[in-house]
């Protein structure tokens, strides 16, 4: 039987074999929730979306880089107990190569932690440092940061990498909440495209330096989340995406609504334009 083949999501030195991401949600995607989602996804994952089995670990080269296999033993019996399932997954995770191992690290879907404020991390907020910790099942630790000042974001990203708390950094430039946008943050920040570029460049540079200091084979990838624009008359997402790409961002997540849309069903015709941006 022919099965649909899904292309993996590649971010720098990390390849997500299952191209599905758990989006960061405030007060929801904490460490425990992300581990639960990973566990349940493996129990119900269609075979065509599962991490390939042993053949990927036999020295084959893809895109001129030796690929390594992580957490590929995911077949589970439907009647397996929760404790046994957790032990099974943890054993697979423990045996998996980390993203700083030679070659690209292959892992399953991306599970992003809830948004954390960069300034709070820099000021030593105990609660914020607890929020950036990941559970034992996360082979790749994905953390989303929010901030307005580039120095704060760059410092936080670098520290997370040096402390081994992040293998992927996402920057939130998509929040439309007035108390955020009034301060120039969230979805308001990309409107100042030059400043947006400076902020992104600072974070990318910080993660690269921290990755090198930590002995990683690949820099920790940085991604950004944006909205299509301030309002219907000011859709600047293509310009913003180009600026992000030019400054080393590994991927852009587009929320197709504008800031003024906030919520609702409008704005979903813009995706095609962004998908054609590359090249």
Residues of the binding site: 144, 225, 255
Strand partners, 107: 16
Taking residue 244's Cβ as centre, other Cβ atoms within 10 Å add up to 26
Distance CA 186, CA 178 (A): 9
Q: Which two tokens stand for residue 97?
A: 């190569």
Comparing CA positions, the residue from 67, 14, 66 lying closest to residue 218 is: 14
Q: For tokens 């929320």, what's the residue?
A: 255
Instruction: State the binding site for FMN.
Output: 144, 225, 255
Distance CA 209, CA 140 (A): 19
For the chain, how are helix, strand and coil distributed in percent, rounded to 5?
Answer: 40, 15, 45
Distance CA 135, CA 139 (A): 9
- Assess whether 175 carries a catalytic annotation: yes
Count Cβ neighbours within 10 Å for each residue of 38-66 and write b for 16 or more, e otherwise: bbebbeebeeebbbeeeebbeeeeeeeee
Selecting among 10, 51, 72, 175, the annotated active-site residue is 175
Residues acting as catalytic residues: 175
């Amino acid at each position: 039987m022919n099965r649909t083949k899904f292309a993996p999501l590649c971010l720098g030195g990390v390849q997500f074999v299952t191209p599905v991401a758990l989006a960061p949600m405030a007060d929801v995607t904490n460490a425990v929730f992300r581990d639960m989602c990973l566990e349940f996804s493996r129990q119900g994952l269609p075979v065509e979306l599962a991490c390939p089995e042993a053949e990927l670990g036999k020295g084959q080269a893809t895109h001129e880089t030796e690929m390594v296999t992580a957490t590929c033993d995911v077949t589970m019996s439907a009647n397996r107990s929760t404790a046994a399932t957790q032990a099974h997954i943890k054993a697979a995770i423990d045996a998996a190569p980390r993203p700083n191992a030679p070659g690209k690290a292959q892992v399953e879907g991306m599970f992003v932690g809830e948004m954390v404020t960069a300034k709070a991390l820099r000021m030593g907020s105990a609660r914020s440092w607890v929020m950036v910790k990941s559970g034992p099942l996360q082979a790749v630790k994905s953390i989303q940061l929010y901030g307005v000042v580039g120095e704060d974001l760059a410092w936080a990203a670098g520290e997370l990498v040096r402390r081994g708390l992040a293998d992927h950094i996402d920057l939130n430039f998509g929040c439309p909440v007035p108390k955020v946008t009034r301060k120039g943050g969230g979805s308001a920040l990309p409107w100042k495209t030059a400043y947006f570029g400076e902020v992104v460049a600072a974070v990318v540079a910080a993660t690269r330096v921290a990755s090198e200091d930590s002995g990683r084979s690949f820099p920790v990838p940085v991604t950004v989340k944006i909205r299509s624009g301030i309002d219907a008359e000011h859709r600047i997402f293509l310009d913003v995406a180009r600026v992000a790409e030019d400054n080393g961002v590994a991927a852009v997540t587009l929320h197709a609504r504008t800031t003024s849309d906030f919520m609702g069903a409008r704005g979903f015709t813009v995706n095609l334009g962004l998908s054609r941006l590359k090249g």
